[in-house]
Structure 1
Amino acid sequence: MIRMLLRVLGHEYARPVRRTVVLMTVTAMAEGLSYALLVPVLRELFGGTPEDARPWLIAFGVAVAVYAALRYISDLSGFRAGTTLLRGVYHRLGDHLARLPVGWYSAARVGEVSVLASRGVLRAMSVIAHLLAPFISAAVTPLTIVVVMLAFHWQLGLAALVGVPVVAAIQIWTGRSMAAGDAERAERDHEAAGRVIEYLQAQPVLRAGGRTAERFRLLDDSLREVGRASRRATLSALPGVVGLTLAVQAMFTALLVLGTHLALGGDIGAAEVLAILVLAARCADPLLSLSDIGGQLRGARSELVRLDTVLRTEPLPEPREPVQPVGHGLEFASVSFRHGDRTVFDDVSLSVPEGQRLAVVGPSGAGKSTLLHLLARFYDVDAGAVRVGGVDVRAISTDVLMSRIAIVFQDVYLFDGTIEENVRLGRPDADEAEVRAAATAAKLDEVIERLPGGWATNVGEGGALLSGGERQRVSIARALLKNAPIVLLDEVTSALDPVNEAAVHEGIERLMAGRTVVMVAHRLRTVQRADRIVFLDGGRVMEEGDHEELLRRDGRYAEFWRVSPAAAARE
């Protein structure tokens, strides 16, 4: 587990972890050695001259003081290491997630990562701060005491040593028998959490359909499965807990019987037997705590495995020698791309000269949004090349590529903060005049004027306190402030009311002015002024030309145009 922990943390954190482990091990050994002084103390106290026990009592007090100091230092080191590593893991996880391809983020995986980044990381890092010291103490202190027993009386020490592999075997067997139960319980917990979220989110639909009672049954069934899984996990742990308790008690009984036999035979004094039994009793507490600590370690280890799996996911590779693009033209050169088992593009070629506008239309699932994602290098193509400024995007560093592209998506996500903070994400170093100018161009100033908090209005998580049109205006202002030479637009007005649509269109026109633009739209009236239109279907470019030319061909685009609201409005 320590090896996996070090792999998750990275090489830069290996040294403090090893130092903490060594310090905790030394502390556990010091604890065991301090108990060794009980043997001479008890021997002198029960001997003919009890006053001779005074030096040993002083030595015992010094040993306990040394152990207490070491324990304080090791615990403090564990807490400091834990908090430092927690911060480091969050940074490492965040940096790694930012480099993973967007296609990796499926709906289920986003939920898993959100749980992992909150509860999972805290539980995994609790190993250093809270579990490592008790575990090392429970394992090392009894071993040290057994070594002390061997030094004082080899027969009793050997009898205690026989119990070590028995305890280890029980722990290993318990861990293996509980692994399946722990996995099932984690799966049921995850499923139940999903059912709860689903139930809450689906309230409007369920109430409208009169199916609230049915949904209650689904949720109840899921919660019952959690209860059953928890009972099975508890029952699978019970034999190990009982077995460990019986083994420890059997070891103590064996030592008592053997010690009594040796004392009656004159091979050892009663005081030494009493001291050995005291040491054996001191071994029992940490050994019995192994069951509880082991369960917590298994839970933390499962989180470490998930964290390790995410961190070992290969991100998109960065070029060793990045190339600076010349110009802002865009090109698809014989691009093929698969997403899962589906072929999205099959040998697609098209180009957008610098400063021109390309509109991409086609049926749902034709790959329109994926085309934008490939231009922004959210994925890497399987064959061919995507070029920006004549350079393959795989040869451009991510920072340089992103600095040249402004993206406005249909589903706008705003961070929980003020409107100004969300606009400034486009260019954090912009001055106040530039931010205000971008807001005016995006018609965001109209929104700000009617909000009681103005620029300081909090938008809520995901922008939940703003309407869809207001969020789009923030997104356009952000893109205007970025002032990138390439603009990618994805269905930005498909779900807006007429007032917001008009305002957003005006902002979009300002955003597109003088830039290289690729726009995706279902509402065909938004693409009439494009320099060129591409009709995608079945992973191929079916038609290409300007609006009037495609209408004259009377092909797929003309068919789409005839059934569009824009065509109906002109009749």
Structure 2
Amino acid sequence: MIRLLLRVLGHEHARPVRRTVALMTVTAVVEGLSYALLVPLLRALLGGAPADAWPWVSAFGAAVAGYAVLRYLSDLAGFRVGTTLLRGAYDRLGDHLARLPVGWYDEGRVGEVSVLAGRGVMQAMSVIAHLLAPFVSAAVTPLTIVAVMLAVDWRMGLAAAAAAPVVAAIQVWAGRATAAADAARADRDRESTGRVVEYLQAQPVLRAGGRTAERFGLLDDSLREVQRASRRSTLSALPGALGLALTVQVLFTALLVLGAHLALGGAIGAPEVLAVLVLAARCADPLLSLAEIGGRLRGARSALVGLDAVLRAEPLPQVPDPVRPDRHDLEFDRATFGHGDRTVIEGLSLTVPDGQRLAVVGPSGAGKSTLLHLLARFHDVTSGAVRMGGVDVRAMSTEDLAARIAIVFQHVYLFDGTIEENVRLGRPDADDAALRAAATAARLDEVVERLPDGWATNVGEGGALLSGGERQRVSIARALLKDAPVVLLDEVTSALDPVNEVAVHEGIERLVAGRTVVMVTHRPRTARHADRVVFLDGGRIVESGGHDELLRGGGPYSEYWEIAMAPSAE
């Protein structure tokens, strides 16, 4: 468990964790040894001079006080280390998720990452803060007490020691018996979380279909599966808990019978028998708590395994000595990219000279957006290369590549914050003059002026409190503020009304001026202003040339506009 925890956190946290575990172990040993003073104490009390017990009472009190101090320090150390590790776990998970390829985030990952980033991290980090101290105490204190029993009477000590392998076997058996049920429950939890997210996202569709009063069948089924999995997980833990309780009771009864037999035979005194029985009774509580602590540890281990699996997912590789290009022309050199069993881009070659615009047109599923993702290195090509300024993007640092590219997507995501905070994401250190200039160029200033709180207006989660056109203006202002030499546009005006489309188009023209641009579009006006147009179909370039030239050619590009875009042709 500790090795898995350190693997998730990183071994830079090994020293404080091991120091805390050592302190908890010492505390548990001191607790067990303090009970050794009960033997002389009981001998004195049951002997001919009970007043002789006072020194032992004082010694026992001092030992208990020392144990209390150690317990306070070990618990405090556990909380402090747990808090530090919690912060470190979130930082490491966040950094790793940011370096994973976008293709890793398929639909099934939504629930998985949501569970892990929420309850999973908290459950895993609770090992140090809440579970490790009671577990160490439940395991080490009884073993120390058994050692004390051996010192008092080797026969009763051996009888108590015989229970140790039985308790260990029950714990191992319980862990194996519940592993499958715990894993099934974790899977159902992830699935149900994804269904909840899906249900929330589907609200517009459900309401448009007049189904607001109906239950969402997929979500209901998923929640029922969680209920069944939880029941199975609980039931699978019962045999282990009952077996442990039975073992403890049998042990105590056996010691009572053995002690009575030895005392009646004169082999041991009554005070020693009583002391051993008191020690055995003190063993019972921590041993019985092992069942509950073990179950919680198995749950934490399941969360750790999930975190470990995510952290083991291969990020995009980084070169030790990144190269910085000195220009910003773009090139696809026989680039091929596949997703699963499907080839999305196949042997594609094209160039975009520095400062020119390329428009990419084609039917849905042709691989248009994938071209932009490959340029931004959201994915790596399966074969071939993607270059910027003659340098393979895989040979550039992630930070340098990101700094050279501004991206405006069709579906804009804004963070829950103010308009100003979302624009400043493009360049956090920009001054107010640069911020206002970017807003004016994107015609975002018109939106800001009519909002009651102006720049301090909260946009809501995902930008839900703004219209689609307003979100696009924020996105364009953000890209303008970034002032990157390469601009990637993905159908940014496809779902806008005419007024917003004009405003966004003007902002786009200011954004792309003098920059290297690749834009996915299905607007004739946008394609017409490009220096070159490529028509993509099936991951391959079918036609290439100027907009007017391709229209006159009567090929697939011309047919595409006639069939798909004729109603909106200009």
TM-score for the superposition, normalised by structure 1: 0.97
Q: Residues 413 and 463 of structure 1 are in contact (CA less than 8 Å); yes or no, is this contact kept in structure 2?
A: yes
Tell me how far 1:49 sits from its aligned partner. Answer: 1.5
Deviations 1:273-327 (A, max 9, x none): 0000000000000000011111111111111001011111111111111111021
Deviations 1:488-537 (A, max 9, x none): 00010011111111100000000010111000012233211100001111
Aligned to 1:234: 234
Deviations 1:176-206 (A, max 9, x none): 1111111222233333444444444434444
Distance 2:99 2:569 in 1: 45
Tell me how far 1:420 sits from its aligned partner. Answer: 0.7
Tell me how far 1:237 sits from its aligned partner. Answer: 1.4
Deviations 1:517-558 (A, max 9, x none): 000012233211100001111121111100121122211101
Q: Which letter does structure 2 place at the counterpart of 1:133?
A: A
- Go from structure 1 to structure 2 and tell me whether the alpha carbon gap of 1:86 and 1:158 turns closer, same or farther (over 3 Å shift): same
Aligned to 2:522: 522
Aligned to 1:423: 423
Q: Which letter does structure 2 place at the counterpart of 1:130?
A: H
Aligned to 1:289: 289
Q: Which letter does structure 1 place at the counterpart of 2:91?
A: H
Distance 1:216 1:567 in 2: 37
Aligned to 1:17: 17
Q: Residues 156 and 255 of structure 1 are in contact (CA less than 8 Å); yes or no, is this contact kept in structure 2?
A: yes
Secondary structure, aligned partner of 2:162: helix
Distance 2:478 2:199 in 1: 35
Q: Residues 115 and 193 of structure 2 are in contact (CA less than 8 Å); yes or no, is this contact kept in structure 1?
A: no
Aligned to 1:116: 116
Aligned to 1:202: 202
Q: Residues 199 and 215 of structure 1 are in contact (CA less than 8 Å); yes or no, is this contact kept in structure 2?
A: no
Tell me how far 1:229 sits from its aligned partner. Answer: 2.4
**Within-5 A mapping of 1:267-278:** 267-278=267-278
Distance 1:498 1:415 in 2: 26
Q: Which letter does structure 2 place at the counterpart of 1:408?
A: V
- Go from structure 1 to structure 2 and tell me whether the alpha carbon gap of 1:366 and 1:483 turns closer, same or farther (over 3 Å shift): same
Distance 2:161 2:439 in 1: 76
How many residue pairs get aligned? The number is: 570
Q: Residues 45 and 51 of structure 2 are in contact (CA less than 8 Å); yes or no, is this contact kept in structure 1?
A: yes
- Go from structure 1 to structure 2 and tell me whether the alpha carbon gap of 1:97 and 1:182 turns closer, same or farther (over 3 Å shift): same
Distance 1:218 1:555 in 2: 45
Tell me how far 1:218 sits from its aligned partner. Answer: 5.0
Tell me how far 1:47 sits from its aligned partner. Answer: 0.7
**Within-5 A mapping of 1:364-513:** 364-513=364-513
Q: Which letter does structure 2 place at the counterpart of 1:412?
A: V
Secondary structure, aligned partner of 1:406: strand
Distance 1:191 1:513 in 2: 46
Aligned to 2:310: 310
- Go from structure 1 to structure 2 and tell me whether the alpha carbon gap of 1:432 and 1:9 turns closer, same or farther (over 3 Å shift): same
Tell me how far 1:217 sits from its aligned partner. Answer: 5.4
Distance 2:524 2:250 in 1: 83
Distance 1:55 1:568 in 2: 99
Distance 1:448 1:210 in 2: 35
Deviations 1:437-469 (A, max 9, x none): 000000000000010000011111111111111
Deviations 1:7-41 (A, max 9, x none): 11111101000000000000000000001110110
Matched, 1:163 2:163: yes
Q: Residues 110 and 194 of structure 2 are in contact (CA less than 8 Å); yes or no, is this contact kept in structure 1?
A: no
Distance 1:345 1:196 in 2: 34
Distance 1:381 1:44 in 2: 82
Tell me how far 1:223 sits from its aligned partner. Answer: 3.4
Aligned to 1:74: 74
Which 10-residue stretch deviates more, 105-114 or 548-557?
105-114
Secondary structure, aligned partner of 1:387: strand
Distance 2:169 2:564 in 1: 73
Distance 1:134 1:127 in 2: 10
- Go from structure 1 to structure 2 and tell me whether the alpha carbon gap of 1:91 and 1:236 turns closer, same or farther (over 3 Å shift): same
Distance 1:255 1:60 in 2: 24
Tell me how far 1:156 sits from its aligned partner. Answer: 0.3
Distance 2:412 2:384 in 1: 31
Which 10-residue stretch deviates more, 246-255 or 108-117?
108-117
- Go from structure 1 to structure 2 and tell me whether the alpha carbon gap of 1:118 and 1:363 turns closer, same or farther (over 3 Å shift): same
Which 10-residue stretch deviates more, 113-122 or 358-367?
113-122
- Go from structure 1 to structure 2 and tell me whether the alpha carbon gap of 1:120 and 1:138 turns closer, same or farther (over 3 Å shift): same
Q: Which letter does structure 2 place at the counterpart of 1:389?
A: G
Matched, 1:59 2:68: no
Aligned to 1:558: 558
Aligned to 2:536: 536
Distance 2:531 2:567 in 1: 19
Distance 1:363 1:20 in 2: 60
- Go from structure 1 to structure 2 and tell me whether the alpha carbon gap of 1:32 and 1:190 turns closer, same or farther (over 3 Å shift): same
Aligned to 2:279: 279
Distance 1:216 1:336 in 2: 40
Distance 2:221 2:528 in 1: 54
Secondary structure, aligned partner of 1:527: helix
Distance 1:256 1:192 in 2: 51
Secondary structure, aligned partner of 2:319: coil
Secondary structure, aligned partner of 1:24: helix
Tell me how far 1:471 sits from its aligned partner. Answer: 0.6
Aligned to 2:2: 2
Identity %: 77
Tell me how far 1:226 sits from its aligned partner. Answer: 2.9
Secondary structure, aligned partner of 2:487: strand
Secondary structure, aligned partner of 1:563: helix
Aligned to 1:31: 31
Q: Residues 523 and 566 of structure 1 are in contact (CA less than 8 Å); yes or no, is this contact kept in structure 2?
A: no
Which 10-residue stretch deviates more, 344-353 or 523-532?
523-532
Distance 1:305 1:114 in 2: 15
Matched, 1:250 2:250: yes
Which 10-residue stretch deviates more, 322-331 or 217-226?
217-226
- Go from structure 1 to structure 2 and tell me whether the alpha carbon gap of 1:390 and 1:308 turns closer, same or farther (over 3 Å shift): same
Q: Residues 115 and 189 of structure 2 are in contact (CA less than 8 Å); yes or no, is this contact kept in structure 1?
A: no
Distance 1:170 1:401 in 2: 55
Q: Residues 525 and 566 of structure 1 are in contact (CA less than 8 Å); yes or no, is this contact kept in structure 2?
A: no
Q: Which letter does structure 2 place at the counterpart of 1:274?
A: L
Tell me how far 1:230 sits from its aligned partner. Answer: 2.4
Q: Residues 25 and 137 of structure 1 are in contact (CA less than 8 Å); yes or no, is this contact kept in structure 2?
A: yes
Q: Residues 171 and 291 of structure 1 are in contact (CA less than 8 Å); yes or no, is this contact kept in structure 2?
A: yes
Q: Which letter does structure 1 place at the counterpart of 2:142?
A: P
Tell me how far 1:242 sits from its aligned partner. Answer: 1.1
Which 10-residue stretch deviates more, 89-98 or 152-161?
89-98
Tell me how far 1:339 sits from its aligned partner. Answer: 1.2
Secondary structure, aligned partner of 1:438: helix
Distance 2:490 2:334 in 1: 23
Structure 2: segments with no counterpart, 5+ residues: none
Query: RMSD across aligned C-alpha pairs, in angstroms?
Result: 1.5
Which 10-residue stretch deviates more, 257-266 or 57-66?
57-66
Structure 1: segments with no counterpart, 5+ residues: none
Q: Which letter does structure 2 place at the counterpart of 1:313?
A: A
Distance 1:201 1:18 in 2: 45
Aligned to 2:346: 346
Distance 1:351 1:68 in 2: 73
Q: Residues 522 and 565 of structure 2 are in contact (CA less than 8 Å); yes or no, is this contact kept in structure 1?
A: no
Distance 2:515 2:556 in 1: 28
Distance 1:128 1:314 in 2: 28
Deviations 1:316-343 (A, max 9, x none): 1111111110211000111111111111
TM-score for the superposition, normalised by structure 2: 0.97
Matched, 1:262 2:281: no
Q: Residues 108 and 194 of structure 2 are in contact (CA less than 8 Å); yes or no, is this contact kept in structure 1?
A: no
